[in-house]
Amino acid sequence: GNELIVLDYLKVCDTALLLTSASFGDDEIFDRWGQRIFNMISAQGIPTPLVALMDLESLNPKRRPASKQAAQKIISKLLPEEKLMQLDTAAEGLNVMRRIGGQKKRILHNVENRPHLFGDIVEFKSNGEASDDLGTLEVTGFLRGQSLNVNGLVHIPGLGDFQVGQVVAPPDPYKLDKSRDGENVAVRLLDISDPLKRTSLQSENIPDPMDAEQTWPTEEEIEASQKETKKMKLVKRVPKGFSEYQAAWIPEIEEVEDPDKEEDDEDMSDDDEEAEDDEDFMSCDNKSFEDECEKRDSDTEEFQDSVSVSSEAAVNDEKYDQQMDFQEERETMQKLQQARTDQLWPDEIDTPLDVPAHER
C-alpha cells in the first residue's frame, strides 16, 4: 500500500483502528509492512488508537487464550495503555463501535493547532474553454482545529499551496432534524479574501541580476584604501655598538608617523612613557653590563651616543655572519632575559639548577 495515504488519513481522523491477525503466531502480531507502517504513524502521532485481534476463531480452542495473551503482551510494549479487543463476530463489532464512541479522544497538538478539512465533496470548475487548466477547486467538508484565515494559504497534499477565494456554508448533509430535508437552504457567504491582504505564493526570493553585490573594488577604492592604511615608519633607538641584527630584536621604542598623518596627543604621551621604560631596560650593553646598569640609575642622559635604526632597513646576513661572535651573542641574550625577568618579577628568584641545595 501507499504509506503516504495512510499518514494523510491519520491527520484528519479522530480514531485509528489497528487490526492484527492471530494467524501470525505468538511471537509477532504484524508483518514487515505492518511494522513499517506502525513506525511511521508512531513518529507522526496516532490519534486515539484502538487495537483489535481477528482470526482468533480459526485457532484451536485450547490455543486461543495463549495466543490472545501473547498478542496483548506485545501490544502492551508498543501501546501500554491499550487493551486488546476481539473482532470476529457481529456482536464483537458492536463492542468495538461502542468502545470507539465512548472512549476519550486523544488530542494531537500538531494537528489541533492548525485548521484542517477532509474533503467530502471535491469539484473543479474551469474558468472557461480557453483556459481549461485554470479554474477554482471547491472542497466541501467539516473544518477542524483552529479557525481558517481566508487570506492565508491552504495546502492540498500532492498538489501544493493555493490561495483561498472565499468560504461559504453549504447545507448540512448530516443534520439531525430529518423533517426539514425538503426545505431549500441557501448557501451563506462567510468570508471573502482581500487581494491586498492575501499571502503571496512566492516562497523563495527571486534574485535580481541588476542588484548584484559588487565584489571587486574599483581603482579609486584601491587608492583610497592605500592612503588610509599607509604604513607607519618605526624608528628604534638602540645603544651604541649594537648591529642591525641586534636592533631587530629590540622592542619598538618610538612610533613616528608620516608628516601628513595626525596623532592624538594623549596616545603619544602614553607611547613615550612606555618607550622610556623599554629604553632603560635595553640600555645594558653586552660587554659592560654592570657599567650600563649603573648609568641607568644616574641622572645623566643615557642615549647620547645612540643611533637611529629604521625597522625597514634590510639586514646584511653575510656581513653579520662573518663578524658575529656566537658566545658573545648568547651571553648578551641571557643578560637581557635576566634583566627583563628581574624587571617583571623583582621579588622572585629562580632556584639555580646547577648548584646543589646543601651548597646554596
Residue pLDDT, tens place only, 64-74: 888 888 889 98
pLDDT of residue 99: 92
Is residue 274 classed as helix, strand or coil in its secondary structure?
helix
pLDDT of residue 262: 44
Q: Maximum Cα–Cα distance for the chain, whole Å?
A: 124
pLDDT of residue 311: 43
Residue 22 lies in a domain: yes
pLDDT of residue 320: 63
- Nearest CA among 244, 319, 315, 236 for reference residue 283: 236
pLDDT of residue 260: 46
pLDDT of residue 52: 92
Look up residue 45 and give its DSSP letter.
-
d(C-alpha 335, C-alpha 325), whole Å: 15
88 and 139 assigned to the same domain: no
Please name every residue paired with 140 in a beta bridge, in sequence order, or none if there are none: 121
How many domains does the chain fold into? 3
Cell of 341: 625577568
- Give the CA distances from residue 310 to residues 243, 252, 254, 268, 281, in Å, rounded to whole numbers and listed in that order: 12, 10, 11, 19, 20
d(C-alpha 92, C-alpha 90), whole Å: 5
pLDDT of residue 230: 65
Look up residue 33 and give its DSSP letter.
H
Cell of 192: 471573502
Residue 352 lies in a domain: no
Q: Which domain holds residue 43?
A: 3-111
Instruction: Report whether 127 contacts 135 (CB < 8 A).
Output: yes
Residue 164 lies in a domain: yes
284 and 319 assigned to the same domain: yes
Q: Give the chain's length.
A: 360
21 and 38 assigned to the same domain: yes
75 and 119 assigned to the same domain: no
**H or E element at residue 63:** none
236 and 339 assigned to the same domain: yes
340 and 235 assigned to the same domain: yes
69 and 104 assigned to the same domain: yes
Low-confidence ranges of the chain (pLDDT < 70): 1, 129-132, 178-184, 212-215, 230-236, 251-321, 360
Residue 210 lies in a domain: no
Residue 331 lies in a domain: yes
Residue 146 lies in a domain: yes
46 and 96 assigned to the same domain: yes
pLDDT of residue 40: 92
Please name every residue paired with 144 in a beta bridge, in sequence order, or none if there are none: 116
Cell of 115: 485548521
Residue 52 lies in a domain: yes
